[in-house]
Amino acid sequence: MNAAQLKDIIAAGLECEYIELDGDGRHWFATIVSPEFEGKRQIQRHQRVYATLGSRMATDEVHALSMKTLTPQEWRSEQTQA
């Protein structure tokens, strides 16, 4: 799987304002900004992203996915601090 495919899968299952992916085809790091993360703890946000991947994690199509999950407000705050 390549970055564009993974991005499309996540975006199809989760309303995203921004997705950035970096990885080698098996190990990925994602920054995902979604209004769906509002009011959710970090683990709930990650579970929501994993839900978009369905069986792809279990079948090793996506071996590992590390995530930074932010609400749009958190994202804007980070951008103004940078």
DSSP 25-69: SSEEEEEEE-GGGTT--HHHHHHHHHHHHGGGTTTTSS-EEEEEE
For the chain, domain boundaries: 3-81
Write out pLDDT tens, residues 34-63.
999 999 999 999 999 999 999 888 888 888
pLDDT at 82: 65
- What is this structure's pTM? 0.91
Instruction: Give the CATH class of 3-81.
Output: alpha beta
Write out pLDDT tens, residues 1-14.
899 999 999 999 99
